[in-house]
Amino acid sequence: MNPSIFISYSRREVPFIDTLLDALEDKGFPVWVDYQSLVPGRPWLDQILSGIDTADLVLLVISKASVVSKNVEMEYQRALEKKKRIILLIFETVPLPASLHSCEWIDFRGSFNRKLKQLIEQINLPKQQPLAPQSGFKTSFIVWLTLIISVIVLVISIPAWWTIFIPAVLVPLPYHIVKRDVHYYRARFALLTLPIILLLSWIFFRSYEFTNVPIQYCVIASLFIAPLLLVLLSSKGMRVWGKPGSSAPRFANPYHPDIRQPEAVPFFIEYAPEDLNYANTIINGLTSYGHPQVTDVEQAKVSFAIISHYKNTISINVEERAVFPILVQDTVIEDKNLLRIQWIDFRRGLRNLKNLAKLLPEPAKLMKSIGSVPVSNQVVYPRVIQMIDYFLTLLAFFTVSIWIPLCVEFGRKFLELDYAVLFIILNMILTAIILTIIFFSRRALIQRQGRLSSLGWLIGSTLFVGFVSLLQALVILFSIIGFVQVNGVKPPGDMRGSVLMFLPLSYTLGIILIGFFSLLNLGDLLRWFPKRQEQDK
């Protein structure tokens, strides 16, 4: 029979822990890890100490964060006190506390599968006398490959650097890979849009004379290299290498319970008035499976608290009652009681609501199915909100960066026109209007706060941005006509097309995609915007 395992770690190593947990459970090891094993309504410290006391083996993940964590120190000190066998898993090389010098260790900075096999072999052998862990930079083949491909992508993205957004994300990407600190969602968006931006640049600009780079070759290369890098960044090897922000968070285990009619469990739900849309959906989902809602927490067997910008604390005693915080929006959590219990992560949407309803009578299985780590430095929205956010961000970058190729092509000759100053002032005003509207619209969208955080404002402001962009294109058209008349020559055809069409075309394509995706995810979109309190009066 395989020994039972307790895993002690810092939450900055969550992607590594997720992968390790799955691998050990697949091999038949019973594993205790807090975010799947802590049961609500019981003192969290008692459960942790009990988990250590009953485990045959403690796996301690060593990293810069874990060696300074008071909670981790408490756990390994308890394991030493109980004379438990401890195996150190080296995530990062750091000086070890003196009390851990005699512990066994496995350096997990190399191939995960190979190190996992070595760990399992070591678990099944008697305790060994360790040597000092190796220092220096060490990683797996997949990380080296990702690093090399990221440099290649950086090179082929040069014709798209005029957008500002592409170099801002892709130029520092190799460095961030080495530092284990990739912003996964930004990198993913940049890689998905890179072939499109290069293709549009080729159509409108043909090639940049100041770099003499044939864009068509970069377009072709990006169709293969950008998706390859995206696959590598999403791979298990990069997931176990990076910090939480370097990979997509795992929101639930792929477990679908075959329960049609669960035992009825009275529940109480605590939420801010602005989160009423989320609360109603959750209430309807639970009551549809026979769970009655109660208005008095004393009558409830299970309580929920919806956590967002509007409410990041709870009034229920978490050590006396079974409480499940439901995270629907990233926010700063200052309540330490909230950080010590397990969460349900619905930031991506409420698609696991059925599992919540089916497993409500069995809290341990519930956390096994949809429990998640309480905090992460990865900002997450519902997919439709994330798409709108990226669309607005990219549109803002295009509004500014479109003037880079224009200035390169026309240069000083354009400034010699009599109306050049008027043209510059007018376009600066139009650009400022677009950027201002996008700034306030995006801030209201992602923060879910303020009077501008509404679907009506989002639609109206986005349409107005399109109108101003078209007006700006007309101003440029008349300016180019004046340039031709004064100089008696034709401006470059490619640049004429780019200035007039790039921004309006990008806007039109984005609106079509956003509109289609919004219809497919209408529930997530409508729930996201806060309920106005005055509407309830």
Chain mean pLDDT for the chain: 82
Confidence at 496, pLDDT banded by 50, 70, 90: very low
pTM: 0.78
Compute the radius of gyration of the chain from its Cα atoms.
Answer: 28
Structure tokens at 197: 């931006």
Q: Is the pLDDT of residue 74 over 50?
A: yes
The span from the CA of 499 to the CA of 501, in Å, is: 6
Q: Are 389 and 152 in contact (CB under 8 A)?
A: no
**Whether residue 252 has pLDDT greater than 50:** yes
Give the H or E element holding residue 325: strand 323-327
| pLDDT of 223 | 93
Domains of the chain, each with CATH number or no CATH:
5-123 (3.40.50.10140), 141-246 (no CATH), 267-372 (3.40.50.10140), 383-536 (no CATH)
Residues 6+ apart with CB under 8 A from 270: 297, 303, 304, 305, 306, 311, 314, 315, 316
- Parallel, antiparallel, or unpaired for β 207-208 and 213-214? antiparallel
Closest among 306, 227, 239, 238 to 273, alpha carbons compared:
306
- Please give the share of the chain, as a percent, with pLDDT higher than 90: 27
Looking at per-residue pLDDT, the higher value among 44 and 151 belongs to 151
What are the tens digits of pLDDT across the range 364-399?
777 777 766 655 556 788 989 989 998 998 888 888
pLDDT in tens, 419-454: 667 777 777 888 889 899 999 999 999 889 888 899
Question: What's the pLDDT at 486?
Answer: 55
- Report whether pLDDT(493) > 50: no
d(CA 505, CA 470): 10
Cβ pair 248, 380 in contact under 8 A = no
Beta strands 302-307 and 267-270 are: parallel
> What pLDDT band is residue 22 in, cutting at 50, 70 and 90?
confident
Report percent pLDDT > 70 for the chain.
83
What confidence tier does 483 reach under pLDDT thresholds 50, 70, 90?
A: low
In contact, 266 and 292? CB cutoff 8 Å: yes
Closest-CA residue to 309 (of 456, 443, 118, 219): 443
Round to whole Å and give the CA distance between 44 and 56.
Answer: 20
Rounded CA separation 198/179 (Å): 28
* Residue 221: band (very low, low, confident or very high) from pLDDT cuts 50, 70, 90: very high
Sign of CA dihedral 220, 222, 227, 232: positive
**Per-residue pLDDT at 35:** 76
CA 60 to chain centre: 26
The pLDDT score that the predictor gives to residue 324 is 85
